[in-house]
Structure 1
C-alpha cells in the first residue's frame, strides 16, 4: 500500500524554489529602494527596466512552483539572510555603491540556485525538468542583470572614490557581455509577457503527466514507482479540480460536450484513489496505471483538439492570461490544502 505521497528529494527542491521566490521579492524591494535613491537618469532607467523584468520573473517563478506541484516554506537560514539584507538596504550604513554591489551578489546567488535546481532535476526525474523549464528565462535574465549591475557598480564606485566620471564606453562593454550570454544560452528565449496563456499552462501539465507515466513504466523499483505515482496523483488531482473550477464553467457556453469532460475528470479522480490504495510492488498496480494512462490520454486529446480552439477563438489574449492567473491561484490553493491533508 502507498503509505506516503511525499518524497524527500522533491521536497528539498521545493524548498529551494521557495528560497528563490523569497529572494526574488527581496531583489524587487531593493531595486525599488535604489530607484528612490538614484540621481543618475541613465542608471535609474536601467534599474526601472530591471525592476520590470524582475516583477515578470516573479510571475515565472510562481508558475514554476505551481507546475512543480510540491510547495514548501523557504529555509529558515534564507529567511534570516533576507531580513538582515533588507535591514541593511533600508538603512544608511551603506552607500548606494555598496548596496548595488550587494545586489549583484544576490543576483549571483539567485542564478546559481536556479542552475542547481536544473542539475538536481536531471538526477531526480524528467518530469521535474519539464515543470521547471520556464526557470531558464529567470536564470538567463539574472545573468544579464549581473552584467548591468557590474556596470552600475563601476560608475558609482569611480564616482565615490574619485568624484569623477569613469571613462566612456562602459555601457557598450556591458551590452557586449549580455550579447555573449545570449550566445552561450542559445535556444533560451526570454519572455516579454507577464503571464503565460491558459493553453500554455495546460500543455505543461499534460506534458508532465505524460512524462510521469513513462517514468512509472520505466522502472521496477517499488520505491521509485511510488515516488512517480505520488507526484502524478497530486498533479492530476489538482489539475482536474482546478479545471472544474476555472476552465469548464468558462467554456460551457461554447462547448456542447462540457458535461462529458466533467465526467472524464471524475473518472480519472476515482481511478487515482483506487490505485493509491494498491501496493506499488503488486502486478495489479501497473495494470491499473495503464488503464489510468489511457483515460488521461483520451481526456487530454479531447481538451487539446476541442477545448483549445474554443479558448483561442472565444477569449482574447488578455482573457486567456487572466484565466491562466486564476488557474494558477486555484492550483496553488489546492496544493496547499492537499499538503495539509497528506501530513
Structure 2
C-alpha cells in the first residue's frame, strides 16, 4: 500500500512543479526582451501546457489522487517568489528554470522506473510520462543556449557567438531522434 501512496504523492509533486514551470516561463517571457529567446520560451509554454494535461491524465487514470508533500509546496512557493522578485538576475532566473526542468525530468524518469519495477499495468499507465520526460530534457538543451546568451550579455555586456544557437538546435535534433527511436 505504501507504494501506491508514494507514487500518488510523487505524481502530485510532478503536477505541482509542472504548474510552477508554466508560471515561471510566463514570468520570464515578460522579463525578456530578446525575440529569439521569447520564441523559444513560448514553445516551451505550449509544450508544457500539453505536458500538464498528460500528467493530469496519468493521475486520473492512476485513481489514487494525493496532495503534494508540504516540503514540495514550500519549494514551489519559494521558486514563485524568486521568479517574481528582484533578488535574482535574469541569468539566475533562467538557471532556476533549467534546474526545475532537470528536477521534472528526473522525477518523471524515476516514476517510470518505479512503475517498471512494480507491475506491467502501472508501467503501461506511466508510459505517457516518457514523452513529458523527453520534452523536458529537450527544454533543458534550449535553456543551456539561453543561459549562454543571457549570461554573456549580463556578465560581459557583449553578444555571444551566434553559432551557439546552431549547436543548440543540433542537440535538440539529436534528442528528437532519440525520442523517435524510443517511441517506435
TM-score (norm 1): 0.52
For 1:135, the equivalent position in structure 2 comes to 129
1:153 and 2:151 correspond: no
Match of 1:166, SS?
A: coil
Task: Report the 3-state secondary structure (helix = DSSP H, G, I; strand = E; otherwise coil) of the residue aligned with 1:63.
Answer: helix
1:4-45 deviations in Å (ceiling 9; x for gaps): xxx210110110000000000000000110111110111111
Q: Structure 1: where are the runs of 5+ without partners? A: 1-6, 190-343
Where do 1:59-98 residues align within 5 Å? 59-98=53-92
Secondary structure of 1:72's match? Answer: coil
* Residue in 2 that maps onto 1:12: 6
4+ aligned runs moved over 2 Å, structure 1: 182-185
Residue 125 of structure 1: CA displacement? 1.1
Q: Does 1:25 align with 2:19?
A: yes
Which whole-Å CA distance do the structure 2 matches of 1:82 and 1:91 have between them? 14
Aligned-pair distance for 1:120?
0.6
Taking the aligned partners of 2:127 and 2:74, their CA distance within structure 1 comes to 29
Matched, 1:187 2:178: no
Equivalenced residues, count = 183
- Which of 145, 162, 173 in structure 2 is aligned with 1:168? 162
Aligned partners of 1:19 and 1:74 also within 8 Å: yes
Q: Secondary structure at the match of 1:93?
A: coil
Per the TM alignment, residue 136 of structure 1 is displaced from its structure 2 partner at its CA by 1.1
- Which of 5, 29, 33 is matched with 1:39 structurally? 33
Q: Please identify the structure whose Cα radius of gyration is greater.
A: 1
Residue 183 of structure 1 deviates from its aligned partner by 3.1
* Separation of aligned partners in 2, 1:83 and 1:166: 33
3-state DSSP of counterpart to 1:187? helix
CA distance in 2 between partners of 1:168 and 1:100 (Å): 19
Q: Using the alignment, how far apart are the partners of 1:183 and 1:43 within structure 2? A: 23
Shift of 1:133: 1.2
How many angstroms apart in 1 are the aligned matches of 2:150 and 2:171? 19
Query: 1:183, 1:46 → 2: CA distance?
Result: 19
Distance 1:11 1:73 in 2: 10
Aligned to 1:120: 114
**d(CA) in 1 for partners of 2:118, 2:142:** 34
Root mean square deviation, CA, Å: 1.1
Render the CA deviation track for 1:237-280: whole Å, top value 9, x for unaligned.
Answer: xxxxxxxxxxxxxxxxxxxxxxxxxxxxxxxxxxxxxxxxxxxx
